[in-house]
Amino acid sequence: MDRRPLPPLSRLPAFEAAARHESFTAAAEELGLTQTAVTKQIAALEADLGMRLFERRNRAVFLTEAGRAFGRVVGTALADISAETTRLRGGRAAGGLVLHCQLCEAFYWLMPRLARFHELHPGLEVRVISALAPLTAALEPFDVAIQTTGRPSGSARLAFTASDEIFPVAAPGLVPPETLPLSIRELARQPLLSHQVLPQDWMDWSDWFAAVGHASLRAAKMTYFDSFPLVLQAAAAGQGIALGWRNTVSGLIADGKLERVCDEAVFRPTEVSVFRGARNGNHTETDALLSWLHDELAEPRQE
């Protein structure tokens, strides 16, 4: 008999959920367990493996490199088992690809381009799930995900990163044309629109001013929003100047809804991260979607 060196399988669901969320509390809520039960199951699994899968710091948990690698394997295995169980029970697993994307990028960057993917791959279904929360809060498995680099990603496997650049944008006419492009000091005197959340996963004005060599500058007037789509809507409505990410605002600029208001920009070589998920999808189709996203994100497209 082949006695494979498997850990106790009953401990794997708690580990997989905790790895996906990078949170014992969220895993407990998902599985209907107490946080103490999840903690004990993971501690027992770590003891069985002889290594730490999570680091515990200030009441938060973070995957170790070993934990991240093991999480990918366990996540894929459990997704495969779930899909096969559905099939054997006579159910039908959802077809096509699931693409998880941050809300703003989904609306302003992805959707205007998705028809090009379907032209290249007719008949290949893509279901887009948009979200404000990071990947660790995803409510269902995905094949591919796009989010800002540095946000929590759990056990999702990084496929590649892409560049972006960040520059101020406003509705045409908000800034008198004869004063364009604004200097950095003139920019600071204008009404600015800020996307401010906790944790601050995105660059905000103080970081941007510092990156262009003006760390001491302070805005004369700042309006705060908890959603970047709201920031862009406010900018397009003429309420102030927002920071725009090239990938997100290029379509709005091409449509004449926004314009750049100064020459300075902050280039970020790895601003966007694209991940391969653990969903039991068709690997060839997933590779096709990843390849297309890589090409679309490689350089700004001239429309």
Q: In whole angstroms, what is the distance from residue 148 CA to residue 151 CA?
A: 6
Of 81, 109, 56, 55, the C-alpha closest to 229 is: 109
Enclosing H/E stretch for 162: strand 157-170
Q: What is the mean pLDDT of residues 154-177?
A: 94
158 with 274, same domain: the answer is yes
Residue 234, pLDDT score: 93
Q: Residue 107's CB: how many other CB atoms inside 10 A?
A: 17
Q: What is the mean pLDDT of residues 39-66?
A: 88
More reliable by pLDDT, 164 or 228: 164
Q: In whole angstroms, what is the distance from residue 148 CA to residue 134 CA?
A: 9
Residue 301, pLDDT score: 46
Structural domain contains residue 257: yes
Structural domain contains residue 294: yes
233 with 170, same domain: the answer is yes
Structural domain contains residue 145: yes
Name, in order, each residue with C-beta under 8 angstroms of 109's C-beta and a sequence gap of 6 or more. 247, 248, 250, 251
23 with 56, same domain: the answer is yes
Q: Which of 60, 88, 116 is the last residue of a domain?
A: 88
Residue 197, pLDDT score: 76
Domain with 59, as residue range(s), is 9-88
Residue 4, pLDDT score: 64
Would you say 180 and 282 are in contact if contact means Cβ atoms under 8 Å apart? no
Of 2-6, 159-163, 184-188, which gets the smallest average pLDDT? 2-6
Q: What is the mean pLDDT of residues 229-247?
A: 93
172 with 257, same domain: the answer is yes
CATH of the domain at 28: 1.10.10.10
Q: What is the mean pLDDT of residues 184-212?
A: 90
Structural domain contains residue 3: no
pLDDT digits (tens, 9 = 90+) for 111-129: 889 989 999 998 888 989 8
Would you say 277 and 167 are in contact if contact means Cβ atoms under 8 Å apart? no
Q: What is the mean pLDDT of residues 219-245?
A: 92
| Amino acid occupying residue 242 | A
65 with 198, same domain: the answer is no
Domain count, the chain: 3
Residue 173 CA to chain centroid, in angstroms?
A: 33
